[in-house]
Amino acid sequence: MKKFRDFLKDTSGATALTFGLLLVPLLGVTGLAVDYSMASSERANLQNAADAAALAGAAVFTGSNSQEAENLARGYLRANLGDKANSANISVSAKDQKVTVDIGGQTNTLFMQLLKQDTVKIGVTSAAFAPLKPTSASITVGDVYGWYYKRVTIVGMTPAGSEKMLGTVIYNPYDHRGANGRGTGSTVPNKNQMTTINLDGFDKLYLKMEVKQDGCGLGYKNPDTNARYVKCVVDNSKINYDLTLKTNNGQQANYLFVDGKQLPVDQVPKILDILSCTGTHQHAWEDGGGWDQQDFFYTVVTTCKAVDGENVRLTN
């Protein structure tokens, strides 16, 4: 009986028994940590590859060469990922001044296979901003109305701060009763005529519309602006404009409509919001008579280039 009591009190094998019971969960936790570390390392490798690809594509993206930028980004992915690029789900897009790279993949597990999970899904996204600069603009004159002589100009500013008129469209009224009272006239260039302007080499750009409000065209003046009817007489003196509107003036930018949308007041628009690097865009100016019917219509197609590789940056 004494031996039986001594056996019950004996604890010399408890440590081994406890360790044996805890061994399985300890191995599981350790395995999860190892698999997680491997997945994190693989995800970091994918992220580095996605970042490099997005930056490479953004460095050449000009807004109109999406396929070229996307192909270059894919080339960087193949170079950095090797055979892994063939098994990964890759999506590359170049638009809105950004090159975006998405990679969806998976990594094999070691210890989690005991839990019947052979792989872990991993995915990364990278986007790089591509600063663009307009290098040329093709302007096609559309419909122009009004009683007032108008001149629309693209103005370039050099890094030194000097300004240069790069391209001009002029409207010269001749029939105030035309177009149901809106007024008609002639333009230089003519309607539907395209003019391409070189914008390269300028630090900043803005659009300007100047208005001569006496109702007479170029080379004429109205000697009595209070008269009931406009009467124009020859005048070869220098034109004095009554109104000058500029897009780099936040209080005046709202006189310009881009693709049917009026620019906001109290805000200076970015030049790429006006001379967009993608597609064909419609401009319309209102000289102040009313917002419901604009007066000066033309289309713009802008060619751009990447500013330089130093300004390309990741956005997320």
Residue 217 has what pLDDT?
A: 83
Structure confidence by residue, pLDDT tens digits, 219-232: 888 888 777 777 88
Structure confidence by residue, pLDDT tens digits, 12-63: 555 555 545 444 554 555 556 665 666 677 788 889 999 999 999 998 888 8
What are the residue ranges spanned by the domains of the chain? 2-129, 133-310
Overall CATH class of domain 133-310:
mainly beta
In angstroms, the CA 83 to CA 86 distance is 6
Please compute the mean of the pLDDT values over residues 176-198 and round it to a whole number: 92
DSSP label of 189: S
Structure confidence by residue, pLDDT tens digits, 130-157: 888 889 999 999 999 998 999 999 999 9
Confidence of residue 284 (pLDDT cuts 50, 70, 90): very high
Structure confidence by residue, pLDDT tens digits, 86-115: 888 899 999 888 999 999 877 666 555 555
Q: What angle do CA 276, 210, 238 make, to 5 degrees?
A: 140
Using an 8 Å Cβ cutoff, are 159 and 184 in contact?
A: no
Torsion of the alpha carbons at 252, 210, 302 and 102, rounded to the nearest 10: 0
Confidence of residue 311 (pLDDT cuts 50, 70, 90): confident
Torsion of the alpha carbons at 113, 115, 119 and 123, rounded to the nearest 10: -150
Using an 8 Å Cβ cutoff, are 231 and 223 in contact?
A: yes
Using an 8 Å Cβ cutoff, are 269 and 244 in contact?
A: no
Q: Is 223 helix (H, G, I), strand (E, B) or coil?
A: coil
Residue 288 has what pLDDT?
A: 80
Torsion of the alpha carbons at 295, 198, 162 and 281, rounded to the nearest 10: 30
